[in-house]
Structure 1
Amino acid sequence: MKFTHLHVHSHYSLLDGLPKIDEILDRVKELGMDSVAITDHGNIYGAVEFYKKAQEKGIKPIIGAEIYLAFESMHQERPNIDDKRYHLVLLVKNAEGYKNLVKLLTRAHLEGFYYKPRADEELLAQHSAGLIALSACLAGKIPKMILQRKIAEAEKTALRYQEIFGKDNFYLEIQNHPNSHDQKVANKGILALAKKYNIPLVATNDVHYLKPEDAQAQDILMLINTGADPNDPERLSLREDDFSMRSPEQMIKDFEDLPQAIENTQKIAERCNFQFELGKIKLPKFEAPLGKNQEEYLAELCQQGIEKRYGANPKKEVLDRLNYELSVIKQTGFAPYFLIVQDFVNWAKQNRIVVGPGRGSVGGSLVAYLLNITNVDPLKYNLLFERFLNPDRISMPDIDLDFTDRRRNEVIEYVAQKYGKDKVAQIITFGTMAARAVVRDVGRALSYAYSYCDQIAKMIPFGSTLDQTLASVDEFRQAYLEDPQAKKLIDFAKKLEGVARHASTHACGVVISAEPLDNIVPLQHPTQDDQAIVTQYEMHSIEDLGLLKMDFLGLKNLTIIEDTLARIYKVQGKKIDIETIPLDDKNVFKLFQAGETVGVFQLESDGMRRYLKQLKPTEFEDIIAMV
């Protein structure tokens, strides 16, 4: 008999689930299982990463989430009433189910957030197709009603879920936690309910860590989350029982009286067959004027650019290079990409927002130079187009764009207005527990003296992991081997190192989609900002889905330039175009040679200023070589 874990929390159940995706999949493989679901709290942050890695390891990935349901309506926010909520596990069967889960999570975050992202039964009814629902842990509405002896209400809820999802798509979830009195009471009520209404059962273990010996590390994670006193008997904890990833043999033994609850895990796993479409590029449509196609319009803009940059009679090498680049762009299908970028870069310049001259490999593109995206002549500096866009290795081009940090949001707002606010969002990023911070966090949770934890943490070199520090820092290794308190602290810190701690907004990433984003990616507000909208997938997952990701960087140095130009105009009445400033001004090079470059991008660090004094640059190419 086979078994599949269908209720599993990864570290994307922030500060609640302990295991990382790789660790879950390795444990599944080790225990001889061939499929697994991940059901994080109120999100599917790890869905794409989980799907890709599971496929690589030959494990069937089941996408899901343990969502929060409002006490009554998701739109109510009554103090001391609506801070109560229920759990419900949803598993994706197919593409329709995925789309519905994305809609549910997006609306729960954007419309139903009150302490947690909440849906309600009305919303479930609108987006139930393609999903399988499990009644969840003791925080589910049905177990809660049973524990409150509201049996009629529990029955009514079960029948309502059955009505919403369909008779074959709703299961009563049963768990074996013999040390939990509440679980025993709930199980008894769930069995009676299943029997009375012929609702199928499914066995789960609400996995929050992988091995029984990880229980205390997970408990410390929860202490970091809640800031509770470790000695408080009333605090939130899973200590009373085993919430590890039990082996199939153990689960079969635990439910030997209910073999159908084990068999149903396979029935569900066989019905969940959703597959992401990865690697297929989905560029938004750029409307070319007068019925021209996008390649024609791009070529026309480049011809205009040639006249502006090279005059009426450009050299043959310019035309040859242009024709070559346009042929590669046509072959790769990236004409819309260039049109989209030139549109908002030129809009920014027309609105006197200072834009950087170009960063990275895009400097090798003549097309980008002609479209005014960059101000670097690739022919003058002998730069290679293939470093930017290679016909033999087709991948989405990547143009990093610098704007003044004060006005970057205006450019993002322009893009949102042009392509639709529902098609543009910023991108989430996750802060993970780095070595130094995790030592301090674990020490606080264990009630160790701050000075002691700080002393241990300061032994760790910046950027090093705990394992690297143990191997390379004698003082740290000695404390670990000789001080039991330090050993305990470091051992727990190692289990928590690299675990996601919080979600925030990526510094520059923006996604632009051809269709409404909430058809593809769940959305949410970033923490403590209910105006901005971010995707629930980080940038690598966004790229894997083929969505257009742009980097809009806000640079303080450009703001300084913008302010300087404004002051010159105000005081002296002179309008200066920074594009026409000569690059061979001897007075400027004297400043470089003296190392007086504070406020100059990439040349203001102590090291660079020291090298400038040694090199004594006399031409712009010297600066290029140095950087």
Structure 2
Amino acid sequence: MCRIDRLVARAKELGMDSLAITDHGVMYGVIEFYQAAREAGIKPIIGCEIYIAPNGRLSRNAGDKNNYHLILLAKNQAGYQNLIQLTTRAHLEGFYYRPRVDKELLEQYREGLVALSACLAGEISQLILARQHDEARQAALWYQRTFEDFGLEIMRHPITELETVNKRVIEIGKELGIPVVATNDTHYINREDASAHDLLLCIGTNSTVNDQKRLRMAGDTYFLRSPQEMAELFRDAPEALENTGRFADKCNLDLEFGRLHLPEIELPAGKTPDQFLADLCRQNLRRYYPDPTPEIEQRLEYELDVIRQTQFANYFLVVWDIISFVKKHNILFGVRGSAAASIVLHCLGITAVDPIEHGLVFERFLNIERKEMPDIDMDFQDDRRDEVINYVSQKYGQDHVAQIITFGTLGARAAIRDVGRALGMPYGDVDRVARLVPNAPNMNLARAMDENKELRDIYSEDDIVRNLVNSAKRVEGISRHASTHAAGVVISKESLTNYVPLQRGAKAESQEAVMTQFSMNDIARIGLLKMDFLGLANLTILGKARDIIRRNHGTDIDIYNLPMDDKKTFDLLSAGETAGVFQLEGAGMRRYIKELKPNTFSDISAMVALYRPGPMEHIPRFIDAKHGRKPIVYPHPALANILKETYGVIVYQDQVLFIVREFAGYSLGQADIFRKAMGKKIAEVMKKEKRNFIAGAKKLGYSSELAEEVFALIEPFAGYAFNKAHSVSYALIAYQTAYLKANYPAEYITAFLTIHAGEAEKVANAIAECRRLNITVRPPDINRSQLDFSIEKNGAEGPSIRFGLAGIKNVGTGAISPIIDERNANGEFKSVEDLCRRSDLQAVNRRVMESLIKAGALDTLEKRGTLL
């Protein structure tokens, strides 16, 4: 329960000059901890409390659930590398209830490490408690021989056995000449956090505070004690405290930040990455710009120069190589975020959006004045994302590629529910309070109290509710579980375990799936290439629809080269018929789209940007201005060129940058730094930026009054205006899905139903949409249906959609695929008996048969009532 920022702040407050992190079996927080401690002027000591398997890390017998603990601290870079190796192998080789190493691994990876005997769960302590004193002495000798620096720990907590162990540990230390070290088992920061920590133990073990046999800590002494408190606690053993300081002095790890470890692709002979990148772009320029203007050529050269200066050419080439594979294998893809603002990426065929046509600002993607790693976030068909990851693993080596961990934290509602359960409160009482927390992004309990009067009232009036909310506030935001990030993938130049510890992915995933123990932010901090590979269902629908259209019409649809002025598409949008259309299908969005009646692609992009909390309040003005119901008013004519595309409303971050450049003389790079600073809403920062903006405006001849007015106009939008490159990229997928629905409705909805077959509400909504479009949806039929939803041609009646057998609840692909194979090979089934005789009845079991009957799939063989 030690939040790193608060832990470091408390250590500084107490005057500590060094602090160690030793989480159980993992290294999750070490990078954040290291940097936070350094910034506070405290020496960070990186360690881990590892689990040792007594019978070897590969043993998996019933008795192997019990493990010994051992503290390892990195003295230097070699020790840090060995700590990474140990924690990685503990997870990938030794995991059995806990990530475990053994003494063989400790001997192999002992260099550069301090070892301490740990708490009561340490081997020596456990042997002492078992009265095996000779064995305890032998164990101490083994650790002394194995590690250059080994210490015997003593702690003081209200545990009966602890003093017995401490006494014998001190004796062993004197006998063998092993230094005794005074330590403190710290699980929370302040003494008053003990009760909140106890609630977390209950949440983690699914128990309540009233359970007598649950896991609990003895007493409330597991807080960060001050040096004075430790001196008083160990006044009878001052040499143990001195030894603690000596061991801390031995730990002097310097971690390197700011250096990139980018993977490399094979280059043509004699070419540098920058040269090869430039060659590719110049060769492809006329494919995307048949008659390039000087502006286009200058933009390309400018971007190439920035990429050269920032040394990111390898990154661009790695992405180009991945997209080349994706195109070759006909996998649909898209790019999110600011990357669409780059003409280099457009010329590489990575982005479909023309940054010149849409006025996208390159500095939003890569800013020479900020020199941060740019993000090229990619979407792939979600059913083929694994193919991309497998390709990358094969290309760069499996030990160079992993998915990235993410940590789920206790949100406001979850904190209320979990704490209520831990307190043993009735579900209904807890649910009533949880429902009063507004369901909004980044909601916390303090904000919920501000925004909801009913919550404030019951908090004031009801002591039990007050205790619930106060307790929930104390655990809110704490990491609750680790899982695999939905999109994050890391690729390194060298073996990943040179930089980051690894572990298995989440339980539901393949045993082969490996993920990092560092989060996305920490991966970036240590200079590794983090990439976003998101599986997007809408791309899968587009791919499936494209295949169905090819089969039914013999037409190959190139979704990247659709006519962008298609009347049917804009008619569909203007009518609000956007069910199943990416980004535009929600009830609120459909209402606004219908009012807007978009007739240009830029209208779709603007709506994608505006339909979010904050900007949403400007939608009515945007719509009224488009249709001339309200005049467009600019504080200054110079704003007209910047805002005319969006009818006088600031929609995009890019517009904020152009305004700042126009009125204050900033470069676009400086303007983006201004935008980011303003977006943080820090009062002192905003005052400083306002002074600079007004000073810049006055230098350009604008009056202070006008500068004030323009600043007031852009101030709120700096925080919530949308990145235009992202908006345009997602608007393109929205247009693609709308185009297929408008021009090939049956095929598109068939694809939609196939992809969402297991989601009852989406299936029901899609079938309702078919009724509206006069498309017949035919029931499942054992002799007519395919595995998935399919198109049936009906002459003049037009196509109908046949329900797929795998879409029936409790009927899986494993049971249906052999049935369809049998039907295709030997003809239709004549009766239920014929079906049973020709099927594998282990796969097509009673549950499957009942589901087929209830769904009507056997109606053509026998009456449903008879079968049931």
* Shorter-normalised TM range: over 0.9
Counterpart selection for 2:143 from 161, 169, 176: 161
Match of 1:47 in 2: 30
Question: Is the alpha carbon distance of 1:36 and 1:298 closer, same or farther for their aligned partners in structure 2, counting shifts above 3 Å?
Answer: same
* Amino acid in structure 2 at the alignment position of 1:349: K
**Structure ranking higher on relative contact order (CA contacts 8 Å, 6+ apart):** 1
Match of 1:454 in 2: 431
Larger Rg: 1 or 2?
2
State the alpha-carbon separation in 2 of the partners of residues 451 and 321 from structure 1: 62
Report if aligned partners of 1:423, 1:516 keep a CA contact under 8 Å in 2. Answer: yes
SS in 1 for 2:28: coil
Counterpart selection for 1:337 from 315, 324, 329: 315
Matches within 5 A, 1:370-389: 370-389=347-366
State the alpha-carbon separation in 2 of the partners of residues 521 and 118 from structure 1: 18
State the alpha-carbon separation in 1 of the partners of residues 314 and 93 from structure 2: 33
Counterpart selection for 2:492 from 505, 510, 513: 513
Cα drift, residue 368 of structure 1:
0.5
Q: Structure 1: 5+ residue runs without aligned partners?
A: 1-17
Match of 1:128 in 2: 110
1:297-326 deviation digits (Å, cap 9, x = unpaired): 112211221232233x53333322222221
Counterpart selection for 2:301 from 323, 342, 351: 323
Report if aligned partners of 1:592, 1:613 keep a CA contact under 8 Å in 2. Answer: yes
Matches within 5 A, 1:19-418: 19-79=2-62, 81-166=63-148, 169-177=149-157, 179-228=158-207, 230-240=209-219, 242-311=221-290, 314-356=292-334, 358-418=335-395
1:208-230 deviation digits (Å, cap 9, x = unpaired): 11222222221111111112353
* Amino acid in structure 2 at the alignment position of 1:277: E
Report if aligned partners of 2:208, 2:423 keep a CA contact under 8 Å in 1. Answer: no
Match of 2:471 in 1: 492
State the alpha-carbon separation in 2 of the partners of residues 19 and 450 from structure 1: 29
SS in 2 for 1:386: helix
Report if aligned partners of 1:219, 1:239 keep a CA contact under 8 Å in 2. Answer: no
* Amino acid in structure 1 at the alignment position of 2:151: Y
State the alpha-carbon separation in 1 of the partners of residues 476 and 574 from structure 2: 45
Match of 1:10 in 2: none
Identity of aligned residues (%): 51
State the alpha-carbon separation in 1 of the partners of residues 73 and 597 from structure 2: 64
State the alpha-carbon separation in 2 of the partners of residues 241 and 315 from structure 1: 72
Match of 1:558 in 2: 539
Q: Is it true that 1:535 corresponds to 2:516 in the alignment?
A: yes
Cα drift, residue 476 of structure 1:
2.1
Match of 2:414 in 1: 437
* Amino acid in structure 1 at the alignment position of 2:297: L
State the alpha-carbon separation in 1 of the partners of residues 540 and 68 from structure 2: 48
SS in 2 for 1:493: helix
* Amino acid in structure 2 at the alignment position of 1:459: L
Larger deviation, residues 460-469 vs 202-211 = 460-469
SS in 1 for 2:59: coil
SS in 2 for 1:599: coil
State the alpha-carbon separation in 1 of the partners of residues 600 and 423 from structure 2: 59
Report if aligned partners of 1:220, 1:442 keep a CA contact under 8 Å in 2. Answer: yes
Larger deviation, residues 609-618 vs 378-387 = 378-387
1:552-586 deviation digits (Å, cap 9, x = unpaired): 11111101100001001112222221122110011
Report if aligned partners of 2:406, 2:519 keep a CA contact under 8 Å in 1. Answer: yes
Cα drift, residue 110 of structure 1:
0.6
Match of 1:502 in 2: 481
* Amino acid in structure 2 at the alignment position of 1:140: G
CA RMSD of aligned residues (A): 1.5
SS in 1 for 2:269: helix
Larger deviation, residues 458-467 vs 591-600 = 458-467
User: Normalized against structure 1, the TM-score is what?
Assistant: 0.94
State the alpha-carbon separation in 1 of the partners of residues 211 and 569 from structure 2: 66
SS in 2 for 1:377: coil
Cα drift, residue 185 of structure 1:
1.3
State the alpha-carbon separation in 2 of the partners of residues 162 and 537 from structure 1: 32
SS in 1 for 2:131: coil
SS in 1 for 2:137: helix
SS in 2 for 1:268: helix
* Amino acid in structure 1 at the alignment position of 2:284: G
Counterpart selection for 1:612 from 567, 572, 593: 593
Match of 2:733 in 1: none
State the alpha-carbon separation in 2 of the partners of residues 210 and 542 from structure 1: 27
Counterpart selection for 1:603 from 584, 589, 598: 584
State the alpha-carbon separation in 2 of the partners of residues 248 and 477 from structure 1: 41
User: Normalized against structure 2, the TM-score is what?
Assistant: 0.68
State the alpha-carbon separation in 2 of the partners of residues 231 and 150 from structure 1: 36
Cα drift, residue 616 of structure 1:
0.8
State the alpha-carbon separation in 2 of the partners of residues 620 and 487 from structure 1: 52
Report if aligned partners of 1:128, 1:165 keep a CA contact under 8 Å in 2. Answer: yes
Cα drift, residue 372 of structure 1:
0.5
SS in 2 for 1:244: coil
Question: Is the alpha carbon distance of 1:165 and 1:181 closer, same or farther for their aligned partners in structure 2, counting shifts above 3 Å?
Answer: same
Report if aligned partners of 2:194, 2:220 keep a CA contact under 8 Å in 1. Answer: no
Report if aligned partners of 1:216, 1:239 keep a CA contact under 8 Å in 2. Answer: no
Counterpart selection for 1:477 from 440, 456, 469: 456
Report if aligned partners of 2:208, 2:421 keep a CA contact under 8 Å in 1. Answer: no
SS in 2 for 1:614: helix
* Amino acid in structure 2 at the alignment position of 1:105: T
State the alpha-carbon separation in 2 of the partners of residues 576 and 114 from structure 1: 51
State the alpha-carbon separation in 1 of the partners of residues 588 and 314 from structure 2: 41
Question: Is the alpha carbon distance of 1:472 and 1:578 closer, same or farther for their aligned partners in structure 2, counting shifts above 3 Å?
Answer: closer
* Amino acid in structure 2 at the alignment position of 1:271: K
State the alpha-carbon separation in 2 of the partners of residues 599 and 287 from structure 1: 42
* Amino acid in structure 2 at the alignment position of 1:329: I
1:91-124 deviation digits (Å, cap 9, x = unpaired): 1111111100000000000110000100111001
State the alpha-carbon separation in 2 of the partners of residues 460 and 579 from structure 1: 43
Question: Is the alpha carbon distance of 1:239 and 1:420 closer, same or farther for their aligned partners in structure 2, counting shifts above 3 Å?
Answer: same
Match of 2:682 in 1: none
State the alpha-carbon separation in 1 of the partners of residues 226 and 297 from structure 2: 66
Aligned pairs, number:
604
Cα drift, residue 274 of structure 1:
0.8
* Amino acid in structure 2 at the alignment position of 1:341: V
State the alpha-carbon separation in 2 of the partners of residues 329 and 202 from structure 1: 52
Question: Is the alpha carbon distance of 1:558 and 1:152 closer, same or farther for their aligned partners in structure 2, counting shifts above 3 Å?
Answer: same
1:318-337 deviation digits (Å, cap 9, x = unpaired): 32222222122111111111
Match of 1:574 in 2: 555
Report if aligned partners of 2:25, 2:48 keep a CA contact under 8 Å in 1. Answer: yes
Report if aligned partners of 2:128, 2:136 keep a CA contact under 8 Å in 1. Answer: yes
State the alpha-carbon separation in 1 of the partners of residues 286 and 183 from structure 2: 69
Report if aligned partners of 1:503, 1:526 keep a CA contact under 8 Å in 2. Answer: no
Match of 1:3 in 2: none
Cα drift, residue 184 of structure 1:
1.3
